[in-house]
Amino acid sequence: MSTSVAFAVHGAVAGSFATRIPWIRDRLGLSAGALGLALLVPALGALLAMPATGALVHRFPGRTITRILVGAFCLALALPALAPSLGWLCLALLVFGALGGMADIAMNTQGVLVEECVGRSIMSGLHGAWSIGGIAGGAIGALAAHAGLDARVHLGAMAVALLAVALVACRGLLEAPPAPAGAGHEPLALAWPSRPVLLIGAVGFGAVFAEGASADWCAVYLRDVMGSAPGTAAVAYTGFAAAMAAGRLRGDAVVRRIGAVRAVRIGGLLASAGALLVVAARTPVLGIAGFALIGLGIAVVVPLAFAAGGRAVPHAGQGIAAVATVSYGAGLAAPGAIGGIAAVVSLPGAFVVVAALTALVSAGAAALRPAAVGEG
């Protein structure tokens, strides 16, 4: 329960920030290009911080470090709205992204430890809790924006409220990871990930690429390719996000029944079918259905990749950090890559690439097999 709440708080921070981006843009008078550049910075901060976080969560007690990092991420929510210029905004977003990425690694490490204690899959449900938190934070943010509430007040209040929830919830986390038999307690050094970890990361990369492409381009796709009204186009993202959240909340039951490898294999095929439906669709209803199918198909892939990465090496945090760094690189690459392919070929052609990548996710599902990650 405590780990689920930590994930939900993390999602609520992300959802709260996303709703006030227009306010921040208007306050600073940013152009579309300047805003786009600024919004790349959080992902850059996360990618820079993630590799070192594996050593951090090994060196300090799990409950303590997770509580500190999740709490710090909550407080960082207030920073972007306080920035007086583009430069300060980028600095605030660098800190925001770095703390978010570090907290992500710590929480997922806790998830792997809880899985080991209960002896069953729970990671998909934890990521489902993150999605629920994001929806809740986004809903509160939408109400605040509709009421014309100053984002400095809104995000500051949310930062304090979410910090209070996080500090209470994190009391129930595991204090320290069990040390592997015969393992020492020397600090971990940064090292190039092993081949099994890289393969797991590659599976995660394909899923995160599909997620980023769909989330950022689904509304544009319906508007530009199908001529949909803005309100109808916006439903595409809602359908995608809702399907992914539902898939994650039900994902653990599916994994317990058919196993992680088969779940990822089927999920990759569903996502490929969804991408091809998007390409073939000529009506908004079919387009929305295609994006929802992509969301459903990739729902369990990243949670299961993190769980597999945590089991791939003696120290769970180090494996999760490596998988997250490789996978989340796709979050940086996807929006620009889809735009570049669309400029050269077409937007439907770009989603053929998404279909191919999710097919590769299905083909690479065996990388998540327990035997492949050192469990015999």
- Dump pLDDT digits (tens) for 21-50: 889 988 999 886 788 788 778 888 888 888
Same domain, 211 and 297: yes
Contact 17, 77 (CB under 8 A): yes
Residue 234 in any domain: the answer is yes
In a domain, 287, yes or no: yes
- CA quadruple 19, 137, 296, 360: dihedral sign: positive
**287-337 residue pLDDT tens:** 999 999 999 999 999 888 888 887 776 666 667 777 877 777 766 677 677
User: Of the given ranges (121-125, 157-161, 203-207, 363-367), which has the lowest mean pLDDT?
Assistant: 121-125
Instruction: State the residue for tokens 């997250």.
Output: 324
**For the chain, how many residues are written?**
376
Q: What is the mean pLDDT of the chain?
A: 84
Helices (H) and strands (E) in the chain, counts: 15, 0
- At 184 the pLDDT is 45
Rounded CA-CA distance 56/59 in Å is 5
The reply to whether 272 and 330 lie within a common domain is yes
Rounded Cα distance between 345 and 368, Å, is 34
245 assigned to some structural domain? yes
Q: Do residues 128 and 261 share a domain?
A: no
The total number of structural domains in the chain stands at: 2
Residue 219 and residue 107 share a domain:
no
Structure tokens at 127: 């990521």
199, burial (CB in 10 Å: exposed 0-12, middle 13-18, buried 19+) = buried
Same domain, 11 and 76: yes
Task: Provide the token pair at 367.
Answer: 């990388």
pLDDT at 187 over 60: no
Q: Print the domain residue range for 45.
A: 2-172
Whether residues 148 and 205 fall in one domain? no
- Are residue 309 and residue 248 in the same domain, yes or no? yes
Asked if 21 and 89 sit in the same domain, the reply is yes
- The reply to whether 310 falls in a domain is yes
Task: Give whichever of 64-68, 80-84, 147-151, 199-203 has the largest mean pLDDT.
Answer: 80-84
Q: What gap in Å lies between CA 327 and CA 224, rounded to an integer?
A: 29
pLDDT at 372: 47
Does residue 146 form part of some domain?
yes
One domain for residues 202 and 154: no
- CATH of residue 38's domain is 1.20.1250.20
> Are residues 228 and 322 located together in one domain of the fold?
yes
Coil, strand or helix at 78? coil
pTM: 0.77
Residue 232 lies in a domain: yes
Q: Kindly tell me if the per-residue pLDDT of 284 is higher than 80.
A: yes
Residue 249 lies in a domain: yes
Least confident of 69-73, 104-108, 364-368: 104-108
Is residue 189 assigned to a domain? Answer: no
pLDDT above 70 as % of the chain: 88
- In terms of domains, do 273 and 163 share one? no
Residue where a domain stops, chosen among 114, 138, 172: 172
Residues 53 and 99 in one domain: yes
**CA-based R_g, the chain, Å:** 20
Q: What is the reported pLDDT for 370?
A: 64
